[in-house]
């Protein structure tokens, strides 16, 4: 072999090796989806975010002045566990605040004798057998409150392509959604006359009149501002029949032993017996399974938001990933012997396997522990032990949740949210796969709820409830995200109101009229001292001095 041949062979081998190394580097480099996830994978809690539990309340290390802002993930977990500890399933719901056929508030000029007296919330429970019909109430205050009923939505998205590509959207159409509200939330809604359309519409008008006459000076009494201990806790349940049909639970465990009731033997669900309203006057009890939670605490002015998902939810980290820097540690990545990114689980991707070889989402499958590497952190485990959460051997009664049920360990923090945008101006996202099924990739709890507010008729001042006019590839509406737009609330360049912000509370959609105007959906009148805000201070009934303990 000549020297020239030897050199040519060496050059060829070097070229092949270099090409192989380049190909290997290209394979290991982030794809375009992973690059986009960089903006959602930030670690939101620092190393000092290690809450404890003393005398019935979470405690925080010295130097953590506002844990909701400094430790949003850990605060989400403490909020979640505190709600379990306080038995959120006994709290009030939208139906106990925005009651059917509401009566007017007592203590106002023109109030009839048959009216709602919020002063009862200053008394010490029990307040009696059952609350007065037509008035807001907090169920634990009463010895025999009405049972919770849930309207079941009709299935409208059972298309085969959604079953394959976005099964959570299908489940969204089948869920029973219950929004629980704690006592401080209900008390404020009641006292501020926000539980009926007349009160909402009159408040809008009063604020507009004030602005027109007194700008730039504000009247804080007219603004809707829930107290710092108010909590909204939206829970998604699926019926046993639906869970069995979708294969999410089984009738037997791995050894063939019967499960009564059916469940997931490896990651059990928390269950609740619900009076399911199929049609007016037709209630059927059925066992329901808790699949997800979206909650908010008024610990900061724009609320602290977080989402919880069952570990088995199909597609739970699709589109925007899952981000938890406190409760569960994921696999992350190891570079030069050091670990990074244990807070983030990226969405699954795959090669399109066509001529473009595009990298695309691989949605609609389970994110198993074997794939994600998730393991509970010592800090969350210690917090659960201290609070008595998930410390038992099983549910005491499958029909009623219990704090000790070990099934609570089957749930994961999806994300927390405290700002509309990041410090670099990127919109923040938070979307639970079932509640936001079909639009997770554009979801923002804060931005959507910022739109909540009435117009002069007590109807939503911003139609669409967070929807945008542009659609995704399925033809479903996308949702608003990022910073709110002033034109949502005021006509451009003026202080003429379009909507009075309701402090992020979309529950106002359930409000009805005290005196309806036929079938128009509007009320006969919104004017007069009976509805005019702000409400005069309500005297304490019976001279009681203090409120019942906040729950």
Residues 457 and 317: beta-carbon distance below 8 Å: no
Give dist(CA 146, CA 440) in Å, integer: 35
Distances in whole angstroms, Cα of residue 545 to Cα of each of 88, 120, 226, 228, 241: 26, 12, 21, 21, 49
Taking the domains of the chain in order of start, what are their residue ranges? 44-531
Rounded to whole angstroms, how far apart are CA atoms 158 and 156? Answer: 6
Handedness of CA 540, 543, 549, 551 (dihedral sign): negative
Buried b (16+ CB within 10 A) or exposed e, 319-328: bbbbbbbbbb
Phi, psi (degrees; rounded to nearest 5) at 24: -65, -40
Residue 256: phi and psi, rounded to 5, are 90, 0
3-state secondary structure of 529: coil
Q: Which pLDDT does position 21 carry in this prediction?
A: 36
User: What is d(CA 198, CA 193) in angstroms, rounded to the nearest whole number?
Assistant: 9
Of residues 90, 114, 94, the one with CA closest to residue 104: 114
Q: What is the DSSP secondary-structure string of 468-522?
A: EEEE-TTSPEEE--SS--GGGTB-TTS--BS----TT-GGGGG---SSB-TTSSS
> Given this model, what pLDDT does residue 167 score?
67
The string of DSSP letters for 355-400 reads TT--EEE--SS---HHHH--EE-HHHHHHHHHHT-S-SSS-SBTTB
Read off φ and ψ for residue 11, nearest 5 degrees.
Answer: -65, -40
Locus of tokens 């009160």:
199
Residue that the structure tokens 């936001």 belong to: 436
User: Do 7 and 33 contact (CB within 8 A), yes or no?
Assistant: no
- Cα radius of gyration (the chain): 26
User: How high is the pLDDT of residue 549?
Assistant: 35
Residues of the chain under the 50 pLDDT cut: 1-27, 153-159, 540-551
Give dist(CA 226, CA 187) in Å, integer.
10
Residue-wise pLDDT for 132-159, tens only, equals: 999 999 999 999 998 877 755 444 344 4
**Cα–Cα dist 112/37, whole Å:** 58
112-144 as b/e: b if 16+ CB within 10 A: eeebbbbbbbbbeeebeeebeebbbbbbbbbee
d(CA 513, CA 525): 9
**pLDDT on residue 162:** 57
CB under 8 Å to 27, separation ≥6 — which residues? Answer: none
Contacts of 346 (CB under 8 A, 6+ apart): 33, 34, 37, 41, 317, 321
DSSP code at position 430 = B
């Amino acid at each position: 072999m000549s020297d020239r041949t030897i050199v040519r062979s060496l050059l060829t081998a070097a070229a092949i090796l270099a090409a192989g190394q380049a190909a290997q580097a290209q394979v290991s480099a982030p794809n375009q989806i992973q690059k986009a996830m960089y903006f959602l994978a930030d670690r939101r809690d620092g190393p000092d975010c290690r809450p404890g539990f003393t005398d019935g309340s979470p405690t925080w290390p010295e130097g953590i002045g506002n844990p909701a802002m400094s430790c949003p993930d850990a605060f989400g977990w403490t909020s979640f566990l505190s709600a379990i500890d306080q038995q959120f399933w006994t709290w009030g719901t939208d139906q106990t605040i925005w009651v059917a056929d509401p009566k007017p508030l007592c203590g106002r000029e023109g109030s009839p004798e048959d009216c709602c007296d919020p002063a009862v919330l200053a008394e010490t429970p029990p307040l009696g057998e059952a609350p007065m019909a037509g008035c807001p109430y907090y169920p634990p205050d009463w010895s025999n409150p009405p049972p919770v009923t849930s309207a079941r939505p009709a299935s409208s998205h059972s298309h085969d392509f959604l079953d394959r590509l976005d099964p959570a959207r299908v489940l969204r159409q089948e869920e029973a959604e219950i929004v629980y509200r704690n006592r401080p939330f209900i008390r404020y809604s009641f006292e501020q006359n926000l539980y009926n359309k007349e009160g909402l519409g009159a408040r809008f008008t009063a604020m507009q009149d004030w602005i027109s006459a007194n700008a730039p000076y504000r009247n804080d009494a007219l603004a809707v501002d829930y107290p710092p201990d108010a909590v909204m806790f939206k829970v998604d349940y699926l019926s046993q029949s639906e869970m069995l049909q979708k294969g999410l639970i089984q009738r037997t465990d791995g050894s063939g032993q019967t499960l009564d009731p059916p469940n997931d033997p490896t990651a059990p669900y928390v269950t609740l017996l619900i009076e399911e309203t199929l049609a007016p006057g037709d209630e059927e009890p059925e066992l329901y399974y808790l699949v997800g939670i979206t909650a908010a605490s008024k610990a900061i002015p724009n609320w602290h938001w977080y989402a919880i998902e069952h570990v088995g939810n199909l597609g739970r980290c699709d589109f925007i990933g899952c981000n938890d820097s406190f409760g569960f540690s994921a696999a992350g990545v190891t570079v030069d012997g050091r670990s990074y990114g244990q807070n983030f689980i990226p969405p699954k991707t795959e090669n399109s396997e066509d001529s473009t070889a595009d990298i695309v989402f691989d949605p609609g499958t389970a994110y198993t522990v074997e794939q994600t590497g998730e393991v509970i952190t010592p800090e969350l485990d210690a917090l659960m032990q201290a609070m008595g959460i998930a410390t038992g051997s099983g549910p005491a009664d499958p029909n009623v949740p219990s704090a000790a049920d070990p099934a609570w360990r089957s749930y994961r923090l999806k994300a927390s949210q405290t700002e509309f945008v990041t410090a670099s101006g990127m919109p923040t996202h938070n979307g639970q796969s079932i509640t936001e099924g079909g639009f997770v990739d554009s979801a923002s709890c804060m931005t959507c709820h910022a739109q909540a507010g009435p117009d002069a008729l007590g109807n939503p001042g911003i139609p669409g409830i967070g929807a945008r006019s542009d659609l995704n590839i399925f033809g479903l509406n996308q949702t608003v995200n990022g910073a709110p737009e002033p034109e949502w609330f005021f006509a451009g360049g003026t202080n003429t109101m379009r909507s009075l912000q309701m402090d992020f509370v979309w529950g106002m959609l359930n409000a009805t009229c005290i005196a309806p105007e036929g079938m128009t959906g509007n009320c006969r009148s919104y004017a007069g001292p009976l509805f005019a805000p702000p409400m005069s201070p309500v005297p304490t009934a019976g001279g009681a001095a203090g409120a019942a303990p906040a729950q």
